[in-house]
Structure 1
Amino acid sequence: MWLPVFHLSVIALNVYACTYDQLYLDIPFPSKVFDDMPFKARYMFLTIWCFMLQTLYFCVSFLNDIIGTNEVAPKRTPLIRNIKDILFSVAFPIALYVSVAFWGIYAIDKPLVFPEMLEKIFPAWLNHTMHTFITVFLIIELLVTKRNYPSRITGSTITIVFVVSYIIWMHVLHARTGAWPYPIFDVLNLPMRFVFCGFSTILGLGIYIVGEKLNSIVSPISKQYYSNGTSKKSKLK
């Protein structure tokens, strides 16, 4: 019974955070073009892409609690459970990347990701909700629920497509507005941006594999999928 409560609590917190952001926060952007964009132009940030992905995952998880199954390895897996498992395989590496990248750069040179003017208007609880709790909640989910990861080709491809889609979107916005979502890109020349984006994509793929391995450790019984699409149930000792 507590699992649906956990999932619903995360959804409620995320909805409240999003509502608070839209009603009470007015972030000054470097370009006036952003002022006319819907959703207060928040979709320019990878943090929001990740936040929405995590919220979607917990919504699907809640539905799975009600109409699906949380069995370790069900003989007949409902569609909602398959969607949940695939979403987790993508949401976990993206959330971990966002947390590591944000707090890593924050520790080295905070103004590159969190300028002082933003810190003055951005509540600490909201900052942690969007940059810390996204990973904490998914680690809890990893430990307390069981899932079958998709094949590595399927899962890693979806993860890479997600990351590359954001990179393309970020450059499209820059071409339209002349401004970057994150100040760090103002100090990177073109070759360094390629290096940074390439490293970010590789890191996302690496974190995906880490999530896959962690899942095989915490799940005593699961279906292990292979690159050719076949699967085998295994029991960890």
Structure 2
Amino acid sequence: MLLPVFHLSVVALNVYAFTYDQLYLDIPFPSTIFSEMPFKARYVFLTIWCFILQTIYFCISFLNDIAGTNESSPKRTPFIRTIKDVLFSVAFPIALYVSVAFWSIYFIDKPLIFPDYIEAIFPAWLNHTLHTFITVFLIIELLVTKRNYPSRITGSAITMLFVVAYVIWMHVIHDRTGSWPYPIFDVLNLPLRFIFCGFSTILGLGIYVVGEKLNSLVTPVSKQYYTNGTSKKSKLK
């Protein structure tokens, strides 16, 4: 009974946070073109892509609570449970990357990621909802539910597709507006942007593997998949 309440509560918080942002926050952008974009141009940020992905995941999790199964290794896996498991394998590394990247840059050189003029109008609770709770909620989810990860090729490929799609989108935004979504890119030349994006991709892959390993530790009985697509059931002693 507690799982549906938890999943629905996360969805409710996320919907409230996004609604608050749309109704009450006007973030100044360096280009007036941003003001013409739908949803106050929030979709230019990786944070919002991650936030939407997490919200979709918890919506699917709630539906799985009602119409699917939370068994560690069901004999017949409902389709919605399969979607839930695959989404978690992507949502976890993306959320952890967003939290690590944001707070690391924040403490090293805050103006590059969260300038004072934005922080002054941005409620702390909303900042943590977008950059901290996204990881906290998924760690709780990791500990209290069971899942079967997809094969590493499948899961990592979907994760990298998500990352590459955003990198391309970020450059499209820059081409259209002449501005980057994040101030840090204003101080990076092309080689440094290449290095930054390459390092971020490698970090994302590393976090994906960490999530896969953590899942195998917290799930006593589960299907463990390998890169060749084969699987076997394993039981932790």
Regarding TM over 0.5, the answer is yes
Distance 1:176 1:44 in 2: 12
Q: Which whole-Å deviations, capped at 9, do the CAs of 1:52-101 have from their partners, x for residues lacking one? A: 00000000000000000001100000000000000000000000000000
Q: Which whole-Å deviations, capped at 9, do the CAs of 1:21-77 have from their partners, x for residues lacking one? A: 000000000000000000110000000000000000000000000000001100000
| In the alignment, structure 1 residue 91 sits paired with structure 2 residue 76 | no
| In the alignment, structure 1 residue 199 sits paired with structure 2 residue 199 | yes
Q: Which whole-Å deviations, capped at 9, do the CAs of 1:176-218 have from their partners, x for residues lacking one? A: 1000000000000000000000000110000000000000000
| In the alignment, structure 1 residue 26 sits paired with structure 2 residue 26 | yes
Partner of 1:6: 6
Distance 1:67 1:101 in 2: 36
1:146-185 to 2 correspondences below 5 Å: 146-185=146-185
Distance 1:195 1:172 in 2: 19
Task: State the secondary structure of the residue aligned to 1:158.
Answer: helix
Q: How many residues align?
A: 237
1:1-237 to 2 correspondences below 5 Å: 1-237=1-237
Distance 2:119 2:81 in 1: 39
Residue type of the partner of 1:190? L
- Please list every run of at least 4 consecutive aligned residues from structure 1 whose deviation after the TM superposition is greater than 3 angstroms: none
Residue type of the partner of 1:215? N
Deviation of 1:230 (Å): 1.6
RMSD: 0.4
TM-score by length of 1: 0.99
Distance 1:101 1:230 in 2: 34
Distance 1:7 1:131 in 2: 18
TM-score by length of 2: 0.99
Structure 2 residue runs without a partner (length 5+): none
Deviation of 1:228 (Å): 1.9
